[in-house]
Amino acid sequence: MAKAPHFVIKNNFQKGGRLYEDLLTPEILEDLCLRTTNRPDFTCDFDNEGYNKGKMAILEYRGKRIYISFLEGPIRSRNASFQSLPSALSRYLLDPSPRKAMYFYVHPDTTGNFETDYFLFMYRLMKTAGVSFLNLSDHISQQISAFATPDDIIIYKERLRRKGKGNNSTYITRGPTGAVEIYGKTYGANKYETTLLSVAAARVADSAVSLYEVEEGGLSALPAMSRAALAALGNVTIIPYSDAIEVAEFEADDSLRSVRFIYNLLERLGRKKCAFCDCEIPQIIQGAHIWPVASIKQDTSLSLDEKLAHALDGNNGLWLCENHHKLLDSGTLFLSADGLVKCRRLLGSNDRTFVDRITTSKTLPPEILQEGFIDYLGRRNVHLDENAFLEFA
Ligand SMILES: [Zn+2]
Share of the chain above pLDDT 70, in %: 96
Distance 359 CA to ligand 1 centre (A): 7
Band the pLDDT of 114: cuts 50, 70, 90.
Answer: confident
Distance 277 CA to ligand 1 centre (A): 4
Distance CA 164, CA 170 (A): 14
**pLDDT of res. 242:** 76
Has residue 135 got a pLDDT over 70?
yes
Has residue 322 got a pLDDT over 80?
yes
Using alpha carbons, select from 287, 328, 293 the residue that is nearest to residue 309. Answer: 293
Using alpha carbons, select from 289, 26, 268, 42 the residue that is nearest to residue 161. Answer: 268
Q: What is the pLDDT of residues 210-227, one digit of tens each?
A: 999 887 766 667 888 899
Q: For the chain, what's the residue count?
A: 393
In angstroms, what CA-CA distances link 121 with 153, 275, 340?
9, 27, 37
What is the Rg, in whole angstroms, of the alpha carbon atoms belonging to the chain? 26
Q: What mean pLDDT comes out for the span 361-373? A: 94
Distance CA 219, CA 215 (A): 5
Has residue 127 got a pLDDT over 70?
yes
Distance 150 CA to ligand 1 centre (A): 23
Report the DSSP pairing between strands 56-61 and 6-10: antiparallel
**pLDDT of res. 251:** 80
Distance 184 CA to ligand 1 centre (A): 27
Share of the chain above pLDDT 90, in %: 73
**Poorest-confidence range of 149-153, 190-194, 263-267?**
190-194
Distance 274 CA to ligand 1 centre (A): 5
**pLDDT of res. 263:** 92
Q: What is the pLDDT of residues 21-65, one digit of tens each?
A: 999 999 999 999 999 999 999 999 999 999 998 899 999 999 999
**pLDDT of res. 256:** 62
**pLDDT of res. 326:** 97
DSSP symbols for 249-298:
HHHH-SS---HHHHHHHHHHH-S---SSSS---GGGEEEEESS-HHHHHH
Calculated CA dihedral for residues 169, 179, 240, 292, nearest 10 degrees: -80
Distance CA 362, CA 294 (A): 26
Distance 171 CA to ligand 1 centre (A): 22
**pLDDT of res. 57:** 96
Distance 286 CA to ligand 1 centre (A): 10
**pLDDT of res. 161:** 86
**pLDDT of res. 378:** 96
**pLDDT of res. 299:** 94
CB distance 365 to 269 below 8 Å? no
